[in-house]
Amino acid sequence: MNESRRHFLGSAAGGMGATALATLLHAESEGIAPHFAPNSKRVIYLFQSGAPSQFETFDHKPLLKKLHGSELPESIRQGQRLTGMTSTQASFPVAQTIFPLRQHGQSGAWVSDLMPHIAKVADQLCFVKSMYTEAINHDPGVTFLQTGFQIAGRPSIGSWLSYGLGSQNKDLPAFVVMVSQGTGRSADQPLYDRLWGSGFLPSKYQGVKFRSQGDPVLYLTNPEGVSPADRRRFIDDLAQLNQLKQEEFHDPEIATRIAQYEMAFKMQSSVPELTDVSKESAHTLALYGPEASKPGTFAANCLLARRMSERGVRFVQLFHRGWDHHVNLPPAIKGQCYDVDQASAGLIQDLKERGLLDETLVVWGGEFGRTVYCQGKLTPDDYGRDHHPRCFSIWMAGGGIKPGLSYGETDDYSYNIVSNPVHVHDLHATMLHCLGIDHTRLTYKFQGRHFRLTDVHGRVVKDLLA
C-alpha cells in the first residue's frame, strides 16, 4: 500500500508520528514572547499606501525656495538609481512645496499646513525623518514594510505578532486589517491579501480583513433558516470530524481549521457589537471628523481601530490608498491629507483620553519618500514627484516611544540622510522591542532555517524609546 510521508508519520501510534508532533509543538512554543516587560500591548499601524511626500508633510526644507527651478546637482544625486519613469528626463528641476510647514507645540515639530489637526498633537508624536529602504517601486516597497523582505512569501508583521504574542480577546482575531480609498487618487496602486498573510507560519496567524459593506467579515451571517443553535451544533460536529483527522495526520492546518471555525462562530456575536458605533458619544465622533460615521472611510476605520484595541485585538492595520502623486501633486495631496489628518489626530487624542495611548503603539507612514525634483513639467502651481527610497518621514506615538521628538536629518534637498539613519529593519526591531520582543529571538523554523521578521539585520533605535 502506498502511503504519503505525512500519513505514515501521523498513523505511527506512539512512535514517530507522536515524536514529530511534539517536535512541531515545541518549535512553535519557542517563538512565544514577550522576552521582557513590554511598554506596549498592541499596535495600530496607519499605513499610507503609495508613499506620502516628505516635503508636503513633515520635512521642512527652507532652502528649496531659493533653489526652486534649478537643476538638482550631481553632487547630491551621486548617480543614485532612478525609476524608469524619470531616468530618461533631460532635466531634474528642483520643486519646492507650495504648502507651508510651521513649527508647533513645545517640541517645535515641523508640520504642513495641510495637517492642522496633527499639528495640534505634535507633542504626542515622535517624527522620524531619516527612514530609508531598499525598494524603489511600490509592490516590493510595501511588501518590505509589511514583511521585512521585498519578495512575497514571508509572514507579515501582524502575523509575527499574532504568532509571538497571541490574542487578548478569545472572541476576536489577534490581527485585523481594513482598507480605505483616498480622495487624492482614485486609481492608485493595488493592495494584495498576501500583504497581511501568514507566509510560512500556520495560516491561523494571518490577518482578518474587515469589509465596509455587507457582513464585516465574509459569511458572518447564518444562511436563512439556520439558527444560532443549529450553527453551534454544526460547528461542534465538524470540529469532531476534523479532530479525527488531526489525530490521524497531526497536520497544523487541520488544527487551524478547527480554531478558525470556532473563531468564526464567536465573531457572529462579537463583530456586530464591535462595528456598531451608534453608542459612541458626540464628543468622540467629533474627534475623528465628519466622516467617522461613514463606513469604509479612513476616519471610520480609525474609530474601529480604537474599538478593536480597546477589546484586545493585538495588531490593527489600516491601509489608506491614494498617495502615489507622480503628477498633479498639489490637489491630490490636499485630498489625501484631508482624509487622514483629523482622524489620525483624533485617534491619538481618543486613546489618550481613555488611558490607552501608553499601552498602544501607533505608527503612521508609507513605503518610501518622494524626489525633490519634479517629474514632468514644473509650473508655478503644479508639479509631481517620483519615488525616493533614500529618505522619508514617518511618525510614531504611544507605548514605549518618546513623545515630542524629531529624529534624524536629511540634506537641504531631502535627498540623502545626514544624521541618524533608520532602516526598515530598524523600525521593525524597535516596534517589536516596544512590545517586549527581542527581534533576534522571535523566529520560526522553515525549510531548515530559522527565519525572523528582521531577517539577519535590524537594531533597536534606543534614541526613540521613552
Span 346-376, pLDDT tens digits:
999 999 999 999 999 999 999 999 999 999 9
Residue 57: its pLDDT value, please? 98
pLDDT tens figures, 167-219: 888 889 999 999 999 998 877 788 999 999 999 999 889 999 998 877 777 66
Could you tell me if 145 and 133 are in contact, meaning their C-beta atoms sit under 8 angstroms apart?
yes
Mean pLDDT of 325-345: 97
369 contact partners, CB below 8 Å, separation of at least 6: 51, 52, 53, 54, 131, 387, 388, 389, 390, 391, 392, 393, 414
Q: Which fold has domain 42-220+283-439?
A: Alkaline Phosphatase, subunit A (3.40.720)
Q: What is the mean pLDDT of residues 21-35?
A: 49
Confidence bin at 330 (pLDDT 50/70/90): very high
Q: Quote the pLDDT of residue 10.
A: 44
Sign for the CA dihedral angle at 344, 345, 347, 352 comes to positive
What would the DSSP string read from start to end of 295-341? Answer: TTSHHHHHHHHHHHHHTT-SEEEEEEE----SS-HHHHHHHHHHHHH
pLDDT of residue 289: 98
The dihedral through the CA atoms of 348, 351, 357, 363 has a sign that is negative
| pLDDT mean over 236-255 | 79
Radius of gyration of the chain (CA): 24
pLDDT at 56 over 70: yes
d(CA 102, CA 118): 12
For residue 273, what pLDDT is reported? Answer: 87
Q: In this model, does residue 84 exceed pLDDT 70? A: yes
Least confident of 30-39, 81-90, 319-328: 30-39
With cell 468564526, the residue in question is: 264
